[in-house]
Amino acid sequence: MVLFSTHAGTTLAGVFSHVVYFNKGEHHLYGPLYLKLFFTTVVGATAALSYTQKVAWITALTTVSELIGSYLLGLYGSLLVYRLFLHPLNKFPGPSGARISAFWLSLQLRNNNLHVKLVELHQRYGSFVRIGSSDLSVLSPKAIEIVYGPGSRCIKGTTYDLTRPSVSLQLMRDPEEHHVRRRIWSGAFSDKLIRGYEQRVRGYRKKLVDRFTEMEGQPVNVKKWFNLYSFDVMGDLSFGKGFGSIERKEYHWAIRLLNATTDFVGLYLPAWAALLLTRIPGALSDFQKFLEFCGQQLMERFKNDPEIPDISSSLFVPLKGRGITEITPEEENLLYGDARLIVIAGSDTTSGALSAIFYELVRKPEEIEKLRAELAPYMEKDQPHCEFFHSKIAHLDHLNGVINEALRLYPAVPSGLQRLTPPEGIVIDGTHIPGGMNIFCPLYALARSEMVYGRPLEFVPERWYKAPELVKDKSAFAPFSIGPFNCIGRPLALMNMRTTVARLIMEFDMKLAPGEDGSRFLGNAKDNFVFYYGDLNLVFTRR
């Protein structure tokens, strides 16, 4: 009877701890601490019971294990009852497994295809789908402004803590902290500096053109080559030198390390589980080596100020007058994080967009001819063959239409950015979403919705300048996001895309390589937060 009441007491203690403590606030950062406390309690209680009751340690361990089991039964039993019957998201439709745990969604993914899975879920359940115990995916054009816009009270969710203690502008959850850091970054993307970057980008584009010329008539995996090109560009604009990838025709070793870690992100594990895994010694050693490399490159750049300012020049402004040895550990962590952000955000996204653009263009040669006709009057006689001044072509309707259409169909972040709703909640399309919930607005699924676009599955550049009826709600088009957390590198990305597309289509004829049908490009695509495409082999021939 005493043993029963003891077990009942520990079970009630488990229920109490869930209701009073674990069901409030955020706990994802404390996983390692909770595990240490758990094992310390087991060892300490076993030793104390064995010593005070003069029993064998195995007997003491069995008794302690039973009591802890009772506690966990109460804790997780309470959690299960809450999620199944009392959770504020229970009014929203979704798979029954998603009501219990966010692990359900991770287990449904095949080859990191969250973007495809969300399309399927919304087709089955409608505009609002519960995809985790506290996670909601919303397919509504009005949601973009409400969730991400300038007036939104939603903040970044727990997934932005995955790289702590390393942090960067993109990962800052506190709006005020982000605002202060963004002001430092903003100087790197002024009109004057973008014009300076344009001249530096041209050198790497010439190297890319030279490589394509060398491989004339041979299959060229454009996914790989646009990746090499964009990483070299960002290396130069960030650290004063490229990675030498185009010259070597291979990825830099640090980029290989990065590529080896992206699949982990695409598992979309709950934040607490992902953070626990990252704490396993050696689990993310490749990523740590990549982060260290980026940080070291930035520190080398700190010692050598260029004549013409680059992106890093703005990041070093708060350190003016100090030497490298005077940088605090906190400042170093931030600089290392921002160095990683420059390389990843400026490279993977641009190379992916270029790949998507050419994937569509080679399947629709008539679009290439429209672009050539539009670009021809703007070719500069005193410039290198087929180069353009960005200021002369930035306004061109069809060029921008092609880029926008590729960004619509294949957004860089396809499944949406996680946001946490404010305590009072938000209202979308007349539906109240409670506070403290994780919300996503999947751009890949929105692009395929007839609520937002006419002929949504078709590549129609004219929808952006000549056929407005094909864009039913422009507010849903947010490839660079919107509001205070939007992509600060948008001007640089658009400059690079416009001028690179212009030069390549004026310089080369292109077609699918023999045996290439394009199916691998999307069939093997992965949603690792950023869109990573499959291979695409094209043949380039000089015009």
How far apart are alpha carbons 19 and 35 in whole angstroms? 20
Whether 423 contacts 432, CB under 8 Å: no
Contacts for 7 with CB less than 8 Å, ≥ 6 apart = 66, 67, 70
How far apart are alpha carbons 263 and 526 in whole angstroms? 8
Whether 117 contacts 144, CB under 8 Å: no
Fill in the amino acid letter for 460. Answer: V
Strand partners, 540: 510
How far apart are alpha carbons 105 and 415 in whole angstroms? 13
Q: What are the tens digits of pLDDT across the range 218-227?
A: 999 999 999 9
Predicted pLDDT of residue 2: 46
Assign residue 377 a region: left if phi > 0, alpha if psi is -120 to 50, beta otherwise? alpha
How far apart are alpha carbons 191 and 33 in whole angstroms? 47
Site of tokens 């295809």: 113
Furthest-apart CA pair in the chain: how many Å?
96
Site of tokens 């992509």: 487
Count of Cβ atoms closer than 10 Å to residue 398 Cβ: 19
How far apart are alpha carbons 460 and 445 in whole angstroms? 17
Strands 526-528, 135-138: pairing is unpaired
Return averaged pLDDT per consecutive 10 residues of the chain, 543 residues in all.
71 95 94 94 92 90 93 96 96 96 95 96 98 97 96 95 84 93 89 90 94 96 96 90 91 85 90 89 80 84 79 84 78 83 84 97 97 91 76 97 98 94 97 97 97 97 96 95 93 96 96 96 95 96 93
Q: What are the C-alpha distances in Å from 192 to residues 196, 200, 235, 304? A: 7, 13, 20, 21
Predicted pLDDT of residue 384: 60
Name the burial class of residue 512, with classes exposed (0-12), middle (13-18) and buried (19+) by CB atoms within 10 angstroms of its CB.
Answer: middle
Q: What are the tens digits of pLDDT across the range 177-214?
A: 999 999 989 888 988 889 989 999 999 999 999 999 99
Whether 254 contacts 294, CB under 8 Å: yes
